[in-house]
Amino acid sequence: MKQIVLIGFMGAGKSSVGQKLAEKLDIPLYDTDQLIEKEKGMSIPEIFEVHGEDYFRKEEVAMLEKMKQVSGVISTGGGIVSTEKAQKALAAFPHVVFLNVAIEDLVERIKKDKENVRPLFLNNSLEAFQEIYFKRLPLYQRAGKIIVENQNKGIDEIAHEIILKVGG
């Protein structure tokens, strides 16, 4: 069974790299955010608004637990490292890849991305948003057994680098 879990902050490229990686390895792509949206019949911003962030975090870890049964690339939401339960669940996967991008670039990417509405970006000042990044950084570094810098690189190059680091 081949499982590669992608973690990283909002805007780090988990979805696009995940897609390329799945294509190259010829395995399916699972996106925990999309699966939660489908299961709940609500968008992420709606879930945050109606049920709150804590509820979303519980659903997120439950979805991650379900992913233990699948074979494929698993792209996660940026906050997957924020609860102890999710950290434990992540530790059970053989290949967890942290896609790292500098916060300044992440902010620029998020601003440009009109398709994905991120409640944590909308509802926080830039300073508070940056604080979330710095608080999470050591958590990503600890959970990501493989760290890949996604700075000034093409998606194809990153996918290739991940395959090499994961070991084929």
Query: Looking at 13, 18, 72, 79, which residue binds ligand S3P (CB under 6 A)?
Result: 79
Spacing of C-alpha 125 from chain mean position: 22
* Kind and range of the H or E run holding 17: helix 14-25
CB of 158 vs ligand S3P, minimal distance in Å: 16
Please tell me the distance from the alpha carbon of residue 52 to that of residue 5, in angstroms, as a whole number. 25
CB of 167 to ligand S3P, least distance (A): 26
How many distinct helices (H) and strands (E) make up the chain? 9, 5
CB of 127 to ligand S3P, least distance (A): 16
* Site for ligand S3P contains 10 (CB under 6 A): yes
| CA gap 153, 100 in Å, rounded | 12
Tally the residues of the chain.
168
Q: Should residue 18 be labelled a site residue for ligand S3P when binding is judged by CB under 6 A?
A: no
Under the binding rule (CB under 6 A), the answer on residue 19 touching ligand S3P is no
User: Which residues, including other chains, have CB under 8 Å from residue 41's CB and lie 6 or more apart?
Assistant: none
Instruction: Kindly state the smallest distance separating residue 79's Cβ from ligand S3P, in Å.
Output: 3
**What is the C-alpha R_g of the chain?**
15
Minimum distance, C-beta of residue 78 to ligand S3P, in the bound complex (Å): 3
The yes or no reply on residue 77 touching ligand S3P (CB under 6 A) is yes
Cα 107 vs. chain centroid, distance in angstroms?
16
Each residue 87-126 as x (binds ligand S3P by CB under 6 A) or -, in order, gives: -----------------------------x-xxx------
Name the CA dihedral angle for 143, 152, 154, 114, rounded to a multiple of 10 degrees. Answer: 80
- Residue closest to ligand S3P (Cβ): 77
Footprint of ligand S3P on this chain (CB under 6 A)? 10, 14, 33, 44, 77-79, 116, 118-120
